[in-house]
Copies of this chain bind each other. A is one copy, B any other.
Amino acid sequence: MRDLPIILFGVGSVGRALLRQIVEHRSLHADQYGLRLDVLAVCDSSGALVESGHGLDDGLLTEVVAHKAAGNRLAAHRAGGPQSDLTGIVDIAGRSHTVVVDCTASTATVDALLYALDRHYAVVLANKKPLTIDQEVYDRLTSAGGTEFDVPLRHLGRIRWETTVGAALPIIVTLNRLVSSGDMVKRITGAFSGTLGYVMSGLQTGQPFSAVVREAHRLGYTEPDPRDDLSGMDVARKALILARGLGWRMDMNQVAVEGLYPAAMAELSVSEFMDALPQLDDDFCARVEAAAAAGNVLRYAAAVADGRCSVGPVTVPATGPLGRLTGSDNLAEFTTRWYDPNLLVIQGRGAGTDATASGVLSDIIELAFTA
């Protein structure tokens, strides 16, 4: 049996699901892969629990999950201490072959991630932000393991980021396989937001925009500020990750983003924004009806092609792959040298904390066997 040390940044819903799955699947990982996953540290923005021996025991992990799910901070846990420095946690807790897992949605982890890679640890990202800030940070992250040969190893090095696009759907691994084989990717299109998929499906059934957004907000499908979804910025980050995965050198400000509300509404408070939503109903209703009259539907899509990366609402045939998409399903279509005119299509649930956590866990296990 081999110990696989884990340090977890972020104990939000995905981080908690990951901890639950690590505990639940101990015998699978032992029997099938000869691995024992030792959680050496868990950190949130307030504090951390660290146990650098054989890791936090399962009783304590389960307790931490409940503690965080109840809205408490790690600093307030009996076993927790303050953390002012994630790099320090990596230093204190880590040992050889440690996998640092970032389930935050923050850029505050970047220094610690780069530090971990410099120490020859591995990294798994569910967090999109480190891959979508400066190109230089992307290059440093995805070159990890490549120093020996002075080349970027990307997915073949000591980092994985499958769940940053389409949750656990195998979109990044597919892109990386196409790239490494030398297949020429001409175009990637698709729908990469479960939340906006829900909204667009709702519009299609005739509901007013305001009602669909309020319902999604009430059910917790949107971020606390729904504009974080409706702005399209989250989809834009995913499109940028796909574009950079193709080797394009490009920054967020070069992604063309069309959101689902006018710029003026960005200044409102959340409650003012929710109150103002009905102003948009007529416009969306008209767009949906105009689309339907031509056999089309409205979808929120991303396109990466011809050196250009764009996201926004589009009108597509109701009977096409994107038009048939319902609810929170995501879809990725790759047009390549070998997949044209028959595209390579990946579709399925692109959201959900458990599905996402399972993708993070696959990445972790894979890194245990990467040179």
Could you say which residues of chain B place their CB within 8 Å of the CB of A349?
A: 338-339, 342, 344
Could you say which residues of chain B place their CB within 8 Å of the CB of A358?
A: 178, 181-183, 338
| Complex Cα–Cα for A162 and B177 (A) | 11
Residue of B nearest to A151 (CB): B34
Among A25-33, A80-88, A103-111, the one that faces the other chain is: A25-33
Q: Are A1 and B370 in contact (CB under 8 A)?
A: no
A321 to chain B, nearest CB (A): 9
Q: Is A226 an interface residue (CB 8 A)?
A: no
Q: Given the known A-B contacts A339-B349, A358-B338, A369-B370, are A180 and B327 also in contact in the complex, defined by CB atoms under 8 Å?
A: no
A154 to chain B, nearest CB (A): 7
Q: What's the number of copies of this chain in the assembled complex?
A: 2
Residue of B nearest to A359 (CB): B181
Q: Considering the complex, which residues of chain A in the window 122-154 have a beta carbon less than 8 Å from any beta carbon of chain B?
A: 145-146, 148-154
Residue of B nearest to A334 (CB): B348
Q: Dominant SS at the A interface?
A: mixed
Q: Given the known A-B contacts A182-B25, A183-B358, A345-B345, are A338 and B366 also in contact in the complex, defined by CB atoms under 8 Å?
A: no
Could you say which residues of chain B place their CB within 8 Å of the CB of A177?
A: 162, 168, 170, 173, 359, 362, 366
Q: Are B21 and A181 in contact (CB under 8 A)?
A: yes
Q: Considering the complex, which residues of chain A in the window 163-207 have a beta carbon less than 8 Å from any beta carbon of chain B?
A: 168-170, 173-174, 177-183
- Given A21-B181, A178-B358, A369-B370, 15 extra CB contacts under 8 A: A24-B182, A32-B152, A33-B153, A153-B369, A156-B368, A157-B369, A168-B181, A170-B346, A180-B366, A181-B358, A181-B359, A334-B348, A342-B348, A344-B347, A347-B347
CB<8 Å pairs between A and B, sample of 19: A25-B181, A28-B182, A32-B180, A33-B153, A34-B149, A34-B150, A153-B369, A156-B366, A157-B369, A169-B344, A170-B170, A170-B173, A173-B173, A177-B359, A180-B361, A180-B362, A181-B362, A328-B342, A371-B371
